[in-house]
Amino acid sequence: MAQIDTSTSGVHTIILDESFDFENHREFREFWKNALSQKVKKIVVDFTHVKYIDSSALGMLMLVKNEVEGVDCKIELTNVSGHARNILQLVKFDSKFDLK
C-alpha cells in the first residue's frame, strides 16, 4: 500500500495493494489518519491494483467515511473494477460512496 501526499492541493491519495483485507488494517488506518491530520479536503482511495476485498475492507471504508464526514472532508473510491466493484455494489456501497 502506498500513499501520495498532495496535501497542498487538498487531496490525499491512498493506493491499495492487490488484496484489501484485514491484513491491511493498520497501514490503511495510519494513512487516512495522516491525511486527516493534514486537514485535506478529499481522500482518494485508488483501487487500480485491487483484485480482492473482504468484509473487513468494507468495515475499514465505513470507518473512514464516518471520520471524514465529521471534519469537512470527502472520500472518493477510484478505478474500482472486477471483484471489488461487484462486492461494493452487492452491499450497496455505490450509494454510500463516490465510486469511480
Partner 1 sequence: MSIHIHSGQQLIQGDKQKQIIERIQQRIGSFQDDLIIIFENLIPPPKSTISAQLNKEAQVYVLSSDIEDSFEKLNMLSLPEGHIITILSDSCLLYYLSLPKVLSEFLQEHHIDSESAVMYLRLLLDEAIKNAIEHGNLDLSIVKDGFIEGSEDFEDYLAIIQDRLMDPRWGKKKVILQIHQENDKLICCIEDEGLGFDWEDVLQKSESVHHGRGLKLVQQIAEDIKFENNGRKHSFSIKLSN
The residues that touch partner 1, with contacts defined as CB under 8 A, are 19, 21-22, 25-26, 29, 51-56, 58-60, 62-63, 66, 82-83, 86-87, 90-91
Grid cell for residue 3: 500513499
Question: Which amino acid does the sequence have at 40?
Answer: V
> Residue 50 Cβ, how far from partner 1 at the closest point, in Å?
11
Which C-beta is closer to partner 1: that of 5 or that of 30?
Answer: 30
Round to whole Å and give the CA distance between 74 and 42: 5
- In angstroms, rounded to a whole number, what is the distance separating the alpha carbons of residues 50 and 85? 10
We find the least distance from the C-beta atom of residue 17 to partner 1, in angstroms, to be 12
Residue 98 pairs in a beta bridge with: 76
Residue 8 or 18: the one with the smaller Cβ distance to partner 1 is 18
C-alpha to C-alpha distance for 51 and 40, rounded to whole angstroms: 28
CB of 35 to partner 1, least distance (A): 18
